[in-house]
Structure 1
Amino acid sequence: MAWRFQASKFKNTTPHLPKKEDTIFDLPIGNLSCTNNGVQASGSYLAFHVEGEGGKLGALPINAKGRKLRKDMAIVCAHADQIDDFCFMTFNDDLLVTCSRDDNVKLWRLSGEEATPSLECEIHVGNGVLMDSIKSHSTASNIIAAASVGDAYVIDVERKVVATKLHGFVDKGQSVDWSEDGKLLAVSADKGREVCVYDARSGTSPIQRLAVHQGLGRESRVLFCGDRLLSSGFTSKRAQEVHVLDVGRWDTPIHTQEYVSATGVLMPFYDPDTKLVFLIGKGTNKLFIAEFQSKVPHLSPVYEMSLAEQNLGACLGSKRNVKVMDGEVDTLYQLTKHCILPIPCIVPRRSYRDFHADLFPDTRGPKAGCTSAEWLAGSNSLPEKVSLAPNGTNGLPYVSSKTPSPISPPVPTVKEAVKTVVEPRHSPDMQRARAQTHPSHTLTSGTLPDSVCHSTFKPKIALDGDKPEVKELVYTVDDNSEKENGLRKENDSHHKLTEVGVYPKLERSTSVDQSTVSPVPEPPIRIRQLNDKSDRSISARVRPKSCVVGVVASKFRHVETLIGARANNTIFTNIRNVNTQLPLETNGACTSGKFVAVPLKGPAGVVGIYDVEKPGKLPDGVMDGIFNKAQVTDLHWNPFDDEQLAVGTDVGLINFWRLTRDDGPRNEMHPEKVLNAGGEKILCFQWHPMASDLLAVALSDNSIEIWESKTLTRRRRIVSHSAAVMALGWSSDGHRLVSIGKDLMLNVHQPQLGDECLLAQRKVLDRAHSGRVLYACDDRLIIVVGMTRSSSRQVQLFDASSLEEIYTQQIDSGTQPLVPHYDYDSSVLFLSAKGNRTINMYEVSCDSPYLLPLTPYTAPLIGQAIAFHNKKRCDVMAVEFQRAWRLTERTLEQVIFRVPRVKKDVFQSDLFPDALVTWRPVMTAEEWLAGSSKTPLFESLMPEGVSALAKPVAFVAPSRAPPKPAVSSLEHAHEPKVEPNRKEVQNSWSSKILEDRTLEQDEMEGVSEEEWTESL
């Protein structure tokens, strides 16, 4: 049963959106009405549809980049009518095959760096034959298959004749594909409802007729995936659907999966080396990556991505062009209205300095296994495989089967690739610094390479003498935003350290010679630092440290996520009318120790309340809830009162509700009290983490106000942003309040100082779409989660004392913002988003690599929100370090995050330090407003009567023996050399061990002598 625990090497494959300079943009593509994939790639060229001229194609070299107008590309004037399908020959990178409904099948040769087209030959299939789809053979040269209405044709290109005519399907053949061994041909027909499988050399009738999809589609796709057959079509409700069938067992599909409702088909692509399947929705912006496996589910999800632009077409690049020294296993080309994006799919590894042979098995080479004549005669010879290793024995240059190779753009050969790896373009000092630095576990925005193994890592060290300690109130002002932007662009890698500030200096885990590092420039920010004489620091408490075995890894890296039925079967079903149009500033749902609050649809601001101890199916009918009589903008439970819920509205009111388990129908309830903020819209608010009845409120007039909920009075008013505030965050000790606004600025406040309490300010965002901010690592770091201009979602780390940017990592791309949740005790950061299925997790560290990736969780259903409990709800004896509730449009499921451990009968003290008390106030609102400097409380989570995990014994250096009196060497010379007698030593130990010569049978009782009788 070892296969159950064997993880796939490609389960973390991640697509990375390229930078604009790495794409081909300003292309004249426009809106397409074709039924093919729109773009095709060979090892040397790209071919794609162009706007307004259905019979013409654009052609460019495979390594083309930048702006390409019509005058900068080659135009293939292929047909008078619209091109129905086109493809490159499998074993000839410069031969392009096209077909149209009113003309012959044509072969075009592309040559030179400008991809100049020339007609190679025409093949007449028959009078009145309307071609719809074509496909080159997978093992033989000069063989193509073409499908028409009711018939399919196997064409011998070398002899320019139709070798075989196949029949037996209804309507036009929308898609054709050859099996990997070249023996079978599959045709998708009857508007996607039927797939016919042929053995083209043994007969003209199909050997199998497969009824697949129920819906009628303008397009459908069929694809051989090793010994599986994949069909893409629609359900009867117009939802995208994928069927997987096992070759040899055609009766029923072994896997069926339904995706979103759309008009465009899912275009499938398969990599036989990695067994990865790429499904990209035509007319949508969705990309799904899945992996074939031998166990259920046979098609396992790997990654789901929302692309920045609508897909008009896509294709998979040649395996011979991937950058193996960057961990790139595949390249997917996306066709949009104006550009072509090469999307590299990368497997994260700790280092890319060595070739990872387990990721790159030998792949199909450029030489065919047999000729067309040999294949038609019955040959099944397979193409020779080549190695992708830069130092392999098999070369990777293009080899033409019949004709001279085109003058294509230079592709680095094996020796050149090795030279690129051995001689990176860095100074010797930088090479020494890079050699001592641990690479990040995942690719970041600064490590996306442009060539083979080319990294832009630039370490930046803050020296002790660079910046004096601040002792009094100091202002450092730099309003030159252009200078700030220039500095940010120069530091692409974002691997920087902090400077000396209020908190202790963050030390890097690597050592770099100070003489080789240039001084750090002053940060272009506005900052005011205070002389803090009180040692208010919580960094002295014991925290679970990461394991270091050659590389840095997290103790939580193998986190196990249980949800719904697996999480104690705690799930609410039959939930209806979930509000999916909430503002971006709210998290969507919240939970206390007793209830979960879920906003529902409707103008009355209804919020459903669900008891966490009573999961199950909700009754039919009108959904019960509390009515706020205005649109809900944000909501939070009082962290110190499980029965008080605060709900912000767009009319400037915050309703405080008192909710108990004995309440009747809640639609007739009224708020316990109402806070009137003066008519300004409530954008978001946050309860104070230590003081009771105190909360910070962000209003639509760009201000932040501190309110006391007990007396409903305003205590502070802060105006530091020039645009609306998007997010607020308290430090764990409650002395600092951080905010980010649509002015792209990050502001740090100390509200205890009064209304003029701005301490520091810096521009941190690229786009005013949305964002979140919070403190981490015992308030030494500030985490900003935002979006770039290209819709990439990223995480930025800043030093809390100086606002120096430390690290930036891109997570993925999407339209909805990432919602973070930080667990102060484990230092784990949870990232989720509305409309996504994946929960990404990282352990945050003050030292490199800063974000240690944990095992992400991908749910079967798209989520709307996730709400986390405090630490008291965790079952620490089951090694649970966090609990939450995940909301979908129909269910509310409990989620449990735990670490797999064997010894669950002891308390795992290495994972559970004393927990930060967030469920009990430390002070009152009046004490905090008076300037109280109380520190946070910590409490052990170890249950009574349970033993803790044994801690490793610390090594104690032996004390030095007292010096002996000096003895001359002459005295030692006359002393006899005494050696211990081994027998005496053995006897001395034996004398200390009790000797027992009693045998076990001596203790047994036998029968008496009288019972013995003589046998006669």
Structure 2
Amino acid sequence: MNGTSTPTQVAVVATERKEESQDQNFLLFEAALRSPRGTGRMSRQVVRSSKFRHVFGQPAKADQCYEDVRVSQTTWDSGFCAVNPKFVALICEASGGGAFLVLPLSKTGRVDKNVPMVCGHTAPVLDIAWCPHNDNVIASGSEDCTVMVWEIPDGGLVVPLREPVVTLEGHTKRVGIVAWHPTAQNVLLSAGCDNVILVWDVGTGAAVLTLGPDVHPDTIYSVDWSRDGGLICTSCRDKRVRILEPRKGTIVAEKDRPHEGTRPVHAVFVSEGKILTTGFSRMSERQVALWDTKHLEEPLSLQELDTSSGVLLPFFDPDTNIVYLCGKGDSSIRYFEITSEAPFLHYLSMFSSKESQRGMGYMPKRGLEVNKCEIARFYKLHERKCEPIAMTVPRKSDLFQEDLYPPTAGPDPALTAEEWLGGRDAGPHLISLKDGYVPPKSRELRVNRGLDSSRRKAAPEASGTPSADAMSRMEEEMRKLQATVQELQKRLDRLEEAVQAK
């Protein structure tokens, strides 16, 4: 441009340069999106869309919390809390043995210091788990080396519960993990510090499968069932994560040192063919990693989070493909969405509060309030309080949001214990939440008196349908009762006649 240019020419040149600059910026932006580095950061913030990007956590108001509960001080990496659509259970400090508290969900507010507890263990309780097929049945593992199965009456306890329905004895050291089979009736897994995993048929009180110390040479940190219950995923102190077929006792796949640090690793099954692990780097940074179970050489995704020391407990929701990471001893819940395409693991957000958490319970999907677009609910244990935290998707419509609530796992088992032990696998029976979840009638725990004495007391029939043998025993007992009543009535008549004669 020479010194004789007109103002109009100057303006035209400026416009052209501005357009060139915009084109260059656009090309740079497009290149960044296509580059591997851009995929991790820019695409997540600018391009990728998800209906769960704005999920937010909302702690319950004070009157909706459970106050004055003495949460266990045991140093064990379990959640110390278990919830279902009827009850919240949490492991408490107790003098003279192990105990845990069970409250109806509606019984919020200050908990009476003399409230009755489940107190049959003779040493601290380390883990508890509700049966997925019977909301009144809960299992507990303890330092006294036993697993106990309990029936909680509707409405909660009115007197302390000291007698379990069945005591499962087989471990030689403390039992730190209990986990019900997700789809087979009355199948319960327990893992002890004897490095043994036992699978129980609770209906008979017998251990039907044993994975001994030859599989896990050291302490087992976590165990998780696959969605159809065909496999289990374990993490061990020997720094290996294993995928096992429990009925055959075989190792399907294993990964040595998924995280380089020495702190405990936790592993869970997530979307089809993948597992997620949480652990620590060599520099003690907390990490989360996603793995393809068929190619465990390198992770699909590995992200470093922070330098806190608390173990991260993962909770996976198969309906939304969201995994929540709750750190023991810190005050946050991070959540990620898992997708089938790179980069596979997408950070969504983090819920933080002032007080740290001693443990965490996770509500099954059928216990949520669908009219409020609640997609998850946690029960956070403080030092002296249990606080519900609702995870909600912001939506304006009051109508049922079908995209947030696909059919979810219902309470009915898909298999009997015998069918599963025979080699069958089945996914959960799915139910719709469109009209809200209505719990089925209370399913009674039936005592099978035909068991020999070595099998102790009897166990729950989660389906609630008695067998033919049970029906015949009940009929026989009814006949005996009727005969006894008739005999007593005759004696009463004779006494009345004698009194009148005098």
Name the TM-score class by shorter chain: 0.7 to 0.9
Q: Partners in 1 of 2:431 and 2:301 — Cα distance?
A: 32
- CA deviation digits over 1:213-241, x for unaligned, max 9? xxxxxxxxxxxxxxxxxxxxxxxxxxxxx
Distance 1:663 1:434, change over 3 A: closer
Q: Partners in 2 of 1:579 and 1:717 — Cα distance?
A: 30
**Which residues of 2 match residues 970-985 of structure 1 at below 5 A?**
none
Does 1:729 pair with 2:224?
Answer: yes
2:310·2:327 contact (CA, 8 Å) conserved in 1?
A: yes
CA shift for structure 1 position 622: 4.2
Partner of 1:229: none
Q: Secondary structure at the match of 2:160?
A: helix
Q: Partners in 1 of 2:376 and 2:362 — Cα distance?
A: 8
Distance 1:607 1:557, change over 3 A: same
1:438·1:848 contact (CA, 8 Å) conserved in 2?
A: no
Q: Secondary structure at the match of 1:854?
A: strand
Q: Partners in 2 of 1:684 and 1:768 — Cα distance?
A: 21
**Which residues of 2 match residues 548-627 of structure 1 at below 5 A?**
551-565=47-61, 569-575=63-69, 577-584=70-77, 586-602=78-94, 603-619=96-112, 621-622=113-114, 624-627=116-119
Distance 1:653 1:939, change over 3 A: same
Q: Which amino acid aligns with 2:60?
A: G
Q: Which amino acid aligns with 1:583?
A: W
Q: Secondary structure at the match of 1:856?
A: strand
- Larger-Rg structure: 1
CA shift for structure 1 position 853: 2.1
1:635·1:646 contact (CA, 8 Å) conserved in 2?
A: yes
Partner of 2:276: 783
Q: Secondary structure at the match of 1:912?
A: coil
1:885·1:894 contact (CA, 8 Å) conserved in 2?
A: yes
- Larger RCO (alpha carbons 8 Å, 6+ apart): 2
Partner of 2:193: 700
Q: Which amino acid aligns with 1:561?
A: G
**Which residues of 2 match residues 518-917 of structure 1 at below 5 A?**
551-565=47-61, 569-575=63-69, 577-584=70-77, 586-602=78-94, 603-619=96-112, 621-622=113-114, 624-627=116-119, 628-662=121-155, 664-667=157-160, 669-719=162-212, 720-752=215-247, 754-755=248-249, 757-763=250-256, 764-777=258-271, 779-804=272-297, 805-904=299-398, 906-915=399-408, 917=409
Partner of 1:95: none
Q: Which amino acid aligns with 1:559?
A: V
**Which residues of 2 match residues 355-434 of structure 1 at below 5 A?**
none
Q: Partners in 1 of 2:290 and 2:375 — Cα distance?
A: 23
Q: Which amino acid aligns with 1:851?
A: L
| Identity rate, percent | 25
1:704·1:718 contact (CA, 8 Å) conserved in 2?
A: yes
Q: Secondary structure at the match of 2:48?
A: strand
CA shift for structure 1 position 900: 0.5
CA shift for structure 1 position 434: 5.8
Distance 1:570 1:663, change over 3 A: closer
CA shift for structure 1 position 838: 1.2
Q: Partners in 1 of 2:316 and 2:269 — Cα distance?
A: 8
Partner of 2:430: 938
Q: Secondary structure at the match of 1:852?
A: strand
- CA deviation digits over 1:381-439, x for unaligned, max 9? xxxxxxxxxxxxxxxxxxxxxxxxxxxxxxxxxxxxxxxxxx9xxxxxxx999626643
Distance 1:433 1:895, change over 3 A: closer
Q: Which amino acid aligns with 1:834?
A: K
Q: Partners in 2 of 1:435 and 1:571 — Cα distance?
A: 48
Q: Which amino acid aligns with 2:57?
A: T
Does 1:439 pair with 2:39?
Answer: yes
Q: Secondary structure at the match of 2:301?
A: strand
- CA deviation digits over 1:94-146, x for unaligned, max 9? xxxxxxxxxxxxxxxxxxxxxxxxxxxxxxxxxxxxxxxxxxxxxxxxxxxxx
Q: Partners in 1 of 2:79 and 2:262 — Cα distance?
A: 17
Task: For structure 2, list consecutive stretches of 5 or more residues without a partner in the other structure.
Answer: 1-27, 437-502
Q: Which amino acid aligns with 1:862?
A: S
1:560·1:899 contact (CA, 8 Å) conserved in 2?
A: yes
Q: Partners in 1 of 2:171 and 2:264 — Cα distance?
A: 25
CA shift for structure 1 position 741: 0.3
Q: Secondary structure at the match of 2:418?
A: helix
CA shift for structure 1 position 928: 0.4
Q: Which amino acid aligns with 2:47?
A: V
2:183·2:426 contact (CA, 8 Å) conserved in 1?
A: no
- CA deviation digits over 1:243-270, x for unaligned, max 9? xxxxxxxxxxxxxxxxxxxxxxxxxxxx
Q: Partners in 2 of 1:750 and 1:668 — Cα distance?
A: 36
Residue in structure 2 matching 1:922, options 391, 404, 414 = 414
Q: Partners in 1 of 2:323 and 2:157 — Cα distance?
A: 38
Q: Partners in 1 of 2:221 and 2:234 — Cα distance?
A: 8
Partner of 1:280: none
Q: Partners in 1 of 2:380 and 2:216 — Cα distance?
A: 33
- CA deviation digits over 1:916-945, x for unaligned, max 9? x1532111111101111334333322228x
Q: Partners in 2 of 1:734 and 1:699 — Cα distance?
A: 20
CA shift for structure 1 position 854: 2.1
Q: Partners in 2 of 1:921 and 1:653 — Cα distance?
A: 25
CA shift for structure 1 position 674: 0.5
Q: Which amino acid aligns with 2:51?
A: K
- CA deviation digits over 1:474-526, x for unaligned, max 9? xxxxxxxxxxxxxxxxxxxxxxxxxxxxxxxxxxx9xxxxxxxxxxxxxxxxx
Distance 1:855 1:670, change over 3 A: same
Q: Partners in 2 of 1:615 and 1:799 — Cα distance?
A: 42
Distance 1:441 1:686, change over 3 A: farther
Q: Partners in 2 of 1:550 and 1:833 — Cα distance?
A: 29
Q: Which amino acid aligns with 2:368?
A: C
Counting helix residues as a fraction of each chain, which structure ranks higher?
Answer: 2
**Which residues of 2 match residues 12-91 of structure 1 at below 5 A?**
none
Q: Partners in 2 of 1:649 and 1:831 — Cα distance?
A: 25
CA shift for structure 1 position 696: 2.0
Q: Partners in 2 of 1:647 and 1:815 — Cα distance?
A: 27
Distance 1:865 1:738, change over 3 A: same
Q: Secondary structure at the match of 1:596?
A: strand
Q: Partners in 2 of 1:553 and 1:649 — Cα distance?
A: 45
1:837·1:863 contact (CA, 8 Å) conserved in 2?
A: yes
Distance 1:549 1:559, change over 3 A: closer
Q: Partners in 1 of 2:139 and 2:373 — Cα distance?
A: 32
CA shift for structure 1 position 664: 4.7
Q: Partners in 1 of 2:329 and 2:253 — Cα distance?
A: 35
CA shift for structure 1 position 785: 1.0
Distance 1:660 1:438, change over 3 A: farther
Distance 1:930 1:895, change over 3 A: same
- CA deviation digits over 1:922-978, x for unaligned, max 9? 11111101111334333322228xxxxxxxxxxxxxxxxxxxxxxxxxxxxxxxxxx
CA shift for structure 1 position 898: 0.9
**Which residues of 2 match residues 236-255 of structure 1 at below 5 A?**
none
1:554·1:852 contact (CA, 8 Å) conserved in 2?
A: no
- CA deviation digits over 1:506-547, x for unaligned, max 9? xxx9xxxxxxxxxxxxxxxxxxxxxxxxxxxxxxxxxxxxxx
